[in-house]
Structure 1
Amino acid sequence: MTDTTSGCPVIHGGSGEPTPGSDNDRLVFPTEGNPNQQWWPKRLNLHLLAHNPQEIRPTDPDFDYVAAFEALDLPEVKKDIEEVLTTSKSWWPADFGNYGPLIIRMAWHAAGTYRASDGRGGPGTGQQRFAPLNSWPDNGGLDKARRVLWPVKKKYGKSLSWGDLMVLAGNVALETMGFETLGYSGGREDVWEPENVFWGAESDWLGTDARYNGTNETTRELQKPFGATTMGLIYVNPEGPEGNPDPAAAAPDIRETFHRMNMDDEETIALIAGGHTFGKTHGAAPDTEENVGPAPEGAPLHRQGLGWENHNGSGKGDDQITSGLEVTWTYHPTRWDNEFFHILFAYEWEPVRGEGGHWHWRPKDNGGADMVPMAHSAGRREPRMLTTDISLRVDPTYEKIARKFKDDQAAFSAAFARAWFKLTHRDMGPVSRYVGPEVPSETFIWQDPLPEATGEQITAADVAELKQAVLDSGLSTARLVATAWSSASSFRSTDKRGGANGARIRLEPQRSWEANEPAELATALHALESVRAGFNETHAPREVSLADLIVIAGNAAVEMAAAEAGHPVEVPFTPGRVDATQEQTDVDSFAFLEPESDGFRNWQSASLDYPAEHLLVDKAALLGLTAPQMTVLVGGLRVLGANHGGSTDGVLTDRPGVLSNDFFVNLLTLDNEWTPQDAAPGHYTCTDGETGEELWTGTRADLVFSSNSELRALAEVYASDDAADKFIDDFVAAWAKIAETDRFDLHH
């Protein structure tokens, strides 16, 4: 019985165990979820802008994780991991006597959630511990992998995060089985709650092709921003598209989903074959509800966070059920070699349904019988392959690479080492964030390398001189602000890419992005280059980089606008940025950073049909902003006239270019009326309530600050009579944060 009258958020009576599906007809209690989200499912989720607050962290506010990690004896940590991996436990026996393959899969699946489209996913914050990832069907059994590592985590505590441990354990697993890894970096500080990531709109796991546009016999366009083909999978369905065992059809899906991680064909094949050199999949019986219990997040309380309780036989060892696929690829599943390729090309293959009722492939004519060991018994059987493995032989491009690796194990080892390092470190950002004794000496193009600084740093007097030179250049306040914003706001807090450092806004592909207004940007950059050249010629050996100058120019415009509002300020600035070269810029990789909208500049691509306010919050989350910071930046950028294309939407002021709180004052004025524009969905016109005179125009990204109750509460603060100076101070602080958020040389 559930007590719905007392207000007590506790289920009274019965065992206390929830009954699946029994609560669909009632609102949740506050301890179960957010009733507001049930009432209004499409309401803005501003929690994206308050992720992992200090209040939920068990570590002290001044805790320095990087320093704690650097103090570890890494060889000793690795020794402890190796001991755990090679000591089989009765509660969950190790396949082939070695947990290494399981741990590699754990590390792979933690890293493999990374998607280049928005930088979300990856192993960086230990998200595999939390829902939904801890309960994805593709992560079946990985709850045991993390429990296997618990003794190591327990020993080192807060000095070794789960994110760092999972990747390090993957490396140790590879090394104990004979592979030489390329290196390792720590520095992944854990968070303490799930990240709000849009993994897909499907309500069911392992559904059909719901996330494809224009699906037909020849085209499968995976929707953005997804990296996996199906909800609940890391990459693609191993049986083939929607379970159809067609390796030719699976190849384009493999290529697309690995491309979404910025992996090329050689990296893709190296990763697939490298991972499948070890271990096995588990499908001793069908993966039905009768055989497999609920995932960790829905498991009974007494299971203590372990899910997928197996009711087939002993429930472990050779009786395991995970994917329902029963496949061991190689003859020596705990040894590094290129045997996978030799086996792939040694036989002709045929599809069959296995013990778990799913499609796998076996050699024709009983080939290879008695060659592959069982994981927990003395028996042997034939090698097996997944449909997606056969794709590496069927696809012409893949086959050429696969044959090269078959004939050259050294080439395969080198390719896998580089691809594995990229897979497990892709979300860490530039190499300046890497820590530990095993960081490789080589810098890779995907790490967005920067050159060493040359010349002496500019002084405070130089900065003042440069500000005046910029203001005398003829560039408007709006253009200076827009250029600085476009440069800095390319930053993504998810994978630490983009930002002002490097001045890549002057390089391809960024200088050609529609969001950056290429023609106007070119004019601004030409003027700033002239200022830079003149200064460097007369002030040698001191030099200003264009990256620093772009930030200085934006700061100068903000300071002038604040002074005109009667509240002089100085925007914080630290020199030291450098200018990247085109050769240091991976054009294909940076293409993923191109914005399709920027609510801060009141713009979104005409091809993008999505509510502007949701896109605004998403960009603010990528920038690592709080809700007040997002609010004050929008209000300031509007009155500074920094809108894309010179649009007047949301410029709710009679004095554009002055850093005033007019946006909020006029947005919340009670005498005005806003009405939708019939000819322009998402746009609105404001008229005087008495005279009917048209006063302003705006978009959903403007009106959300008066219509959304939480954002209106913030807007009211800045619209108040006592808020003029506070508004400027808060804007300057948020502006400086955006400009310096990629300065990893100043902070970890």
Structure 2
Amino acid sequence: MTWSNQDWWPNLLRLDILDDNATDLSPYGEDFDYAEEFQELDLDEVKADIEEVMTTSEDWWPADYGHYGPLFIRMAWHSAGTYRTADGRAGASGGLQRLPPESSWPDNVNLDKARRLLQPVKQKYGHKLSWGDLIVLAGNVALESMGFETFGFAGGREDEFKSNEAIEWGPEEDWETTSPERFEDEEVGNLKDPLANTVMGLIYVNPEGPYGEPDVEGSAKNIREEFERMAMNDEETVALIAGGHTFGKVHGADDPEEHVGAEPEAAPIEEQGLGWAQEHGDKIGGLEAITSGIEGPWTDAPTQWDMGYINNLLEHDWTSVKGPGGAWQWEPVGDDIEEAPGPHKPEETEQPMMLTTDVALKHDDDYREVLERFQENPDEFQEAFAKAWYKLIHRDMGPPERLLGPEVPDETFVWQDPLPDADYDLVGEEEVADLKADILDSDLTVSQLVKTAWASASTYRDSDKRGGANGARIRLEPQQSWEVNEPEELETVLSTYEDIQEDFNSSREDDTRVSLADLIVLGGHAAVEQAAADAGYDVEVPFEPGRTDATQEQTDVESFEVLEPKVDAFRNYLGGDYDDLYDSLEERMVDKADLLNLTVPEMTVLLGGMRTLGATYQDTDRGVFTDEPGTLTNDFFVTLLDMDYEWEAVDDDGEVFELRDRDTGEPEWEATRFDLIYGSNARLRAVADVYAADDAEEKFVNDFVDAWSKVMTLDRFDLE
């Protein structure tokens, strides 16, 4: 075994997750435009090819009921269903299901076969059709081929070619286990951020019930928390489970521990990326594939859209039993339930079954109410499942303007964070110069301007393309009340911007207007340019108008709550309420930098620049390290690396420190771990050393401007 630095020093701050932001890992090259290529597809032809695979290609892998539709639905569901709201990571974008660890999760047994069945389709369309799009589209085609009317499909999921190592899946070291560390206060039922699944290697919850026991109350509790963490309410949750389980079956004809081989990433090389090899013998005729250890269909018509699942669940009593695979499942009481045809021999019928997670819906009052309403109103069930499925497979794609193809619905949903169109002329260079002058002539300080622009733009998450300055949602709930945004000071800044906006827009004789979203960013630019000028450098931060102002009605308050920073290294905000899976403040800093798509140098220069600009929470001196706050200098790095000083913790948590004169012992500066890590960590110190040099200040200023401009435009998908 070759040991890495991380193996030798497991507490070493991991910065490599930012390296992917600096490098294009795609074999297609930097000039490749997937959106442009996808638009050239004949989507009807692609769908016809997928449907042909679903119903005719059974040469090397058995199809239940002669149809791969249920298998493809499971593949698409498990690809999209990893998405979680806490950090916006995972989901179908990137086609991550084909890479470890998802490719080898216990919950994804035999989905390697589903993707391999689609290999001819992928090969035919090549770079015009990503795996991310193909996996999801196959799920839609499967639903449609079995009689369901989907709500639509959008392409645009560009493939990843390396596992996303920034995704924290949990603290356990073994598959299908649950440790107390997964939960806050080590109590089951309240997952630590950013997790959204209760079991390592499963998409959501254990289908047998919590800890593998048929506990319907505990299962309902887990289901509610999991689905809320992927932005689904009770109705959407019931619709998804009931709709998905209308199709197909689960596979547990025998014990998977005895009859299923190693997962793909552990399989022998000759298996060529396939895993879970199985030898069944004569017991099941070699036709069925063991997956979960649970056995049976949910309905008597597993390849047909109908009300079979809801009717079976509500109209029959169910009792828990150990199935042939050794797992807990539920069988109907009595024999008056309509049996399903055998998956490969229709004459050998079998009883429908239910999972603990199914029966849990019936025994939870709120879920049962939805089930009964759907049973009485089948059309309402159809529509609810169609919309919930559409949300499931598109939730991680961001705003509507990123969605591609002829099947994108006309309707826009609040969960897509919609924005109004700009029905006016945008400001030009002359107007921009006048507005910057008006902003700088106001009573607002450099610190206020920079902090407000940062607070607005830095909500962006590259994981699910949410947040950012466009929409000026910083003036709306919930963002205007976030503690990190210093609401009282924010109100002062926004009030000034509103006055400037009113004066400008009302004075125009033409249709030129400026939005608050543009003004907030422009104010930050003006402050940076002024601070650089005060340091002796003439810079211009690039500015592209076109941001518009969202309304409160276009802003789902609960959905946006997850974007609130628990800490913010760049404003030196420590917060205090951060019981999550990250061990240190500096890990949270790197995680945020990754969500902002920053490289290590960009993260470094932004933090150092924000300090010298005085853009700290509540205007504290922590980390400012300069006698000229508000002037864009490299003083932060010079002071941090100066050996005339020494550092000492001044709190029990080791989060706040004093910098003291090495000779006199007198304290001169205060700092946090966010500051000191740039002198402590070898790699960060190497970068800080570059910016601390006597001849580096001009480079520092220019690099800060580039990094600042990048953050301010991360959400400008209209410019791509």
TM bin, normalised by shorter chain, reads over 0.9
Q: Once the 2 structures are TM-superposed, how far is the Cα of residue 693 of structure 1 from its aligned partner? A: 2.7
Establish whether residue 79 from structure 1 lines up as the match of residue 48 from structure 2.
Answer: yes
Establish whether residue 472 from structure 1 lines up as the match of residue 441 from structure 2.
Answer: yes
Using the TM superposition, name which of 454-463 and 558-567 deviates more: 454-463
- Residue of structure 1 in register with 2:432 after alignment: 463
Establish whether residue 309 from structure 1 lines up as the match of residue 277 from structure 2.
Answer: yes
Residues 725, 127 of structure 1: alpha-carbon distance in 2 compared, 3 angstrom cutoff? same
Per-residue CA shift, 1:384-432, capped at 9, x if unaligned?
0001111121111111110111122211110011000000000000001
Establish whether residue 202 from structure 1 lines up as the match of residue 168 from structure 2.
Answer: no
Residue identity in the other structure for 1:344: L
Residues 212, 678 of structure 1: alpha-carbon distance in 2 compared, 3 angstrom cutoff? closer
Distance in 2 (alpha carbons) for counterparts of 1:265 and 1:292:
35
Establish whether residue 620 from structure 1 lines up as the match of residue 601 from structure 2.
Answer: no
Residue identity in the other structure for 1:507: L
Establish whether residue 670 from structure 1 lines up as the match of residue 643 from structure 2.
Answer: yes
Please say if residues 665 and 720 of structure 1, whose CA atoms lie closer than 8 Å, have aligned partners that are also in contact: yes
- Residue of structure 1 in register with 2:682 after alignment: 709
Instruction: Identify the match of residue 507 of structure 1 among 476, 493, 497.
Output: 476
Please say if residues 62 and 287 of structure 2, whose CA atoms lie closer than 8 Å, have aligned partners that are also in contact: no
- Residue of structure 1 in register with 2:501 after alignment: 532
Per-residue CA shift, 1:678-723, capped at 9, x if unaligned?
4562111111222323221111111111111111111111111221
Please say if residues 214 and 220 of structure 1, whose CA atoms lie closer than 8 Å, have aligned partners that are also in contact: no
Distance in 2 (alpha carbons) for counterparts of 1:208 and 1:740:
40
- Residue of structure 2 in register with 1:296 after alignment: 264
Residue identity in the other structure for 2:635: D
Unaligned runs of at least 5 residues, structure 2: none
Instruction: Identify the match of residue 184 of structure 2 among 207, 213, 223.
Output: 213
Please say if residues 235 and 257 of structure 1, whose CA atoms lie closer than 8 Å, have aligned partners that are also in contact: yes
Q: Percent identity?
A: 55
Name the SS for the 1:380 alignment partner.
Answer: coil
Residue identity in the other structure for 2:701: I
- Residue of structure 2 in register with 1:374 after alignment: 342
Distance in 2 (alpha carbons) for counterparts of 1:229 and 1:190:
27
Structure 1 length-normalised TM:
0.93
Instruction: Identify the match of residue 459 of structure 2 among 457, 471, 490.
Output: 490
Please say if residues 249 and 295 of structure 2, whose CA atoms lie closer than 8 Å, have aligned partners that are also in contact: yes
Please say if residues 327 and 360 of structure 1, whose CA atoms lie closer than 8 Å, have aligned partners that are also in contact: no
Structure 2 length-normalised TM:
0.97
Distance in 1 (alpha carbons) for counterparts of 2:20 and 2:651:
38
Please say if residues 279 and 286 of structure 2, whose CA atoms lie closer than 8 Å, have aligned partners that are also in contact: no
Please say if residues 93 and 317 of structure 1, whose CA atoms lie closer than 8 Å, have aligned partners that are also in contact: no
Q: Once the 2 structures are TM-superposed, how far is the Cα of residue 611 of structure 1 from its aligned partner? A: 1.6
- Residue of structure 2 in register with 1:583 after alignment: 553
Please say if residues 93 and 159 of structure 2, whose CA atoms lie closer than 8 Å, have aligned partners that are also in contact: yes
Q: Once the 2 structures are TM-superposed, how far is the Cα of residue 48 of structure 1 from its aligned partner? A: 1.4
Per-residue CA shift, 1:7-39, capped at 9, x if unaligned?
xxxxxxxxxxxxxxxxxxxxx32xxxx611111
Residue identity in the other structure for 2:278: N
Q: Once the 2 structures are TM-superposed, how far is the Cα of residue 659 of structure 1 from its aligned partner? A: 0.3
Per-residue CA shift, 1:96-139, capped at 9, x if unaligned?
10111000000000000000111001000000011110111111
Please say if residues 189 and 225 of structure 2, whose CA atoms lie closer than 8 Å, have aligned partners that are also in contact: no
Distance in 2 (alpha carbons) for counterparts of 1:569 and 1:669:
28
Residues 543, 55 of structure 1: alpha-carbon distance in 2 compared, 3 angstrom cutoff? closer
Establish whether residue 440 from structure 1 lines up as the match of residue 409 from structure 2.
Answer: yes
- Please show how residues 319-334 of structure 1 align to structure 2 within 5 Å: 319-334=288-303
Establish whether residue 59 from structure 1 lines up as the match of residue 60 from structure 2.
Answer: no
Residue identity in the other structure for 1:144: K
Q: Once the 2 structures are TM-superposed, how far is the Cα of residue 55 of structure 1 from its aligned partner? A: 5.6
Distance in 2 (alpha carbons) for counterparts of 1:146 and 1:554:
47
- Residue of structure 1 in register with 2:603 after alignment: 630
- Residue of structure 2 in register with 1:95 after alignment: 64
Distance in 1 (alpha carbons) for counterparts of 2:111 and 2:651:
53
Per-residue CA shift, 1:235-268, capped at 9, x if unaligned?
1111111111121221111111000001011110
- Please show how residues 25-424 of structure 1 align to structure 2 within 5 Å: 28-29=1-2, 35-51=4-20, 54=23, 56-196=25-165, 197-210=167-180, 211-214=182-185, 220-288=189-257, 290-313=258-281, 318-368=287-337, 371-377=339-345, 378-424=347-393
Residue identity in the other structure for 2:585: A
Q: Once the 2 structures are TM-superposed, how far is the Cα of residue 452 of structure 1 from its aligned partner? A: 1.2
Residue identity in the other structure for 1:190: D
Per-residue CA shift, 1:191-227, capped at 9, x if unaligned?
11000110101111111353123466xx721211111
Distance in 1 (alpha carbons) for counterparts of 2:227 and 2:574:
28
Q: Once the 2 structures are TM-superposed, how far is the Cα of residue 368 of structure 1 from its aligned partner? A: 2.1
Residue identity in the other structure for 1:650: G
Distance in 2 (alpha carbons) for counterparts of 1:316 and 1:87:
21
Distance in 1 (alpha carbons) for counterparts of 2:300 and 2:185:
42
Q: Once the 2 structures are TM-superposed, how far is the Cα of residue 539 of structure 1 from its aligned partner? A: 2.0
Using the TM superposition, name which of 51-60 and 124-133 deviates more: 51-60
Distance in 1 (alpha carbons) for counterparts of 2:266 and 2:11:
25
Residues 592, 316 of structure 1: alpha-carbon distance in 2 compared, 3 angstrom cutoff? farther
Residue identity in the other structure for 1:255: R
Per-residue CA shift, 1:449-499, capped at 9, x if unaligned?
001113211111111111111111101110110000000000000000000
Name the SS for the 2:297 alignment partner.
Answer: coil
Establish whether residue 545 from structure 1 lines up as the match of residue 518 from structure 2.
Answer: no
Please say if residues 94 and 317 of structure 1, whose CA atoms lie closer than 8 Å, have aligned partners that are also in contact: no
Please say if residues 117 and 224 of structure 1, whose CA atoms lie closer than 8 Å, have aligned partners that are also in contact: yes
Distance in 2 (alpha carbons) for counterparts of 1:539 and 1:675:
57
Please say if residues 586 and 673 of structure 2, whose CA atoms lie closer than 8 Å, have aligned partners that are also in contact: yes
Distance in 2 (alpha carbons) for counterparts of 1:710 and 1:153:
41
Report which structure shows greater RCO (CA 8 Å, sep ≥6). 2
Unaligned runs of at least 5 residues, structure 1: 1-27
Please say if residues 341 and 350 of structure 2, whose CA atoms lie closer than 8 Å, have aligned partners that are also in contact: yes
Q: Once the 2 structures are TM-superposed, how far is the Cα of residue 313 of structure 1 from its aligned partner? A: 2.2
Residue identity in the other structure for 2:626: T
- Residue of structure 2 in register with 1:599 after alignment: 569
Name the SS for the 2:396 alignment partner.
Answer: helix
Name the SS for the 1:204 alignment partner.
Answer: coil
Please say if residues 349 and 362 of structure 1, whose CA atoms lie closer than 8 Å, have aligned partners that are also in contact: yes
Per-residue CA shift, 1:17-75, capped at 9, x if unaligned?
xxxxxxxxxxx32xxxx611111112122121122764632112101110000011111
Establish whether residue 570 from structure 1 lines up as the match of residue 520 from structure 2.
Answer: no
Distance in 2 (alpha carbons) for counterparts of 1:213 and 1:54:
36
Distance in 1 (alpha carbons) for counterparts of 2:128 and 2:546:
31
Please say if residues 292 and 310 of structure 1, whose CA atoms lie closer than 8 Å, have aligned partners that are also in contact: yes
Please say if residues 278 and 289 of structure 2, whose CA atoms lie closer than 8 Å, have aligned partners that are also in contact: yes
- Residue of structure 1 in register with 2:527 after alignment: 557
Between Structure 1 and Structure 2, how many residues are aligned?
A: 712
Root-mean-square deviation (CA, aligned residues, Å) is 1.4
Residues 526, 317 of structure 1: alpha-carbon distance in 2 compared, 3 angstrom cutoff? farther
Q: Once the 2 structures are TM-superposed, how far is the Cα of residue 345 of structure 1 from its aligned partner? A: 1.6
Using the TM superposition, name which of 495-504 and 399-408 deviates more: 399-408
Please say if residues 660 and 667 of structure 2, whose CA atoms lie closer than 8 Å, have aligned partners that are also in contact: yes
Distance in 2 (alpha carbons) for counterparts of 1:166 and 1:331:
27
Please say if residues 92 and 316 of structure 1, whose CA atoms lie closer than 8 Å, have aligned partners that are also in contact: no
- Residue of structure 2 in register with 1:733 after alignment: 706
Distance in 2 (alpha carbons) for counterparts of 1:244 and 1:647:
52
Establish whether residue 450 from structure 1 lines up as the match of residue 419 from structure 2.
Answer: yes
